[in-house]
């Protein structure tokens, strides 16, 4: 298991798990948030993970608007205001 420092001495250390998959691709998992990403190389997997964690934390990106949902064919009235865990058996594994 690899540990990665975020580079900011005031920031806590992040625990990241790197896994080499069949075919030579890499998966990177942020243990604190549970966010995962992948890449063709370890460096790419880690860079993709940094972006995914930033999106998860709301540090980058724009909020989704009702117009965005309509563009995707989703009725905004059916979307809950607060995020929730999916009701699928494999989610908690």
What's the CATH class of domain 2-61? alpha beta
What pLDDT does residue 58 have? Answer: 85
Single out the residue of 41, 88, 35 nearest to residue 58, CA to CA.
35
Q: Is the pLDDT of residue 50 over 60?
A: yes
Q: What's the 3-state SS for 31-81?
A: CCCCCEEEECCHHHHHHHHHHHHHHHHCCCCCCCCHHHHHHCCCCHHHCCC
Q: Where are the domains of the chain?
A: 2-61
Examine the pLDDT at 2 and tell me if it is beyond 50. no
Rounded average pLDDT over 7-33: 86
Burial class (CB in 10 A: 0-12, 13-18, 19+), 52: middle
Lowest mean pLDDT among 3-7, 18-22, 41-45, 81-85: 3-7
Q: Is the pLDDT of residue 5 over 80?
A: no
């Amino acid at each position: 298991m690899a540990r990665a420092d975020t580079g900011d001495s005031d920031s806590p250390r992040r625990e990241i798990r790197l896994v080499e998959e069949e075919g030579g691709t890499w998966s990177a998992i942020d243990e604190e948030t549970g966010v995962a990403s992948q890449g063709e190389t370890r460096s790419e997997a880690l860079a993709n993970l940094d972006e995914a964690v930033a999106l998860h934390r709301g540090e980058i990106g724009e909020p989704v608007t009702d117009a965005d949902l309509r563009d995707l064919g989703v009725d905004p009235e059916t979307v809950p205001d607060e995020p929730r865990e999916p009701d699928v058996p494999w989610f908690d594994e």
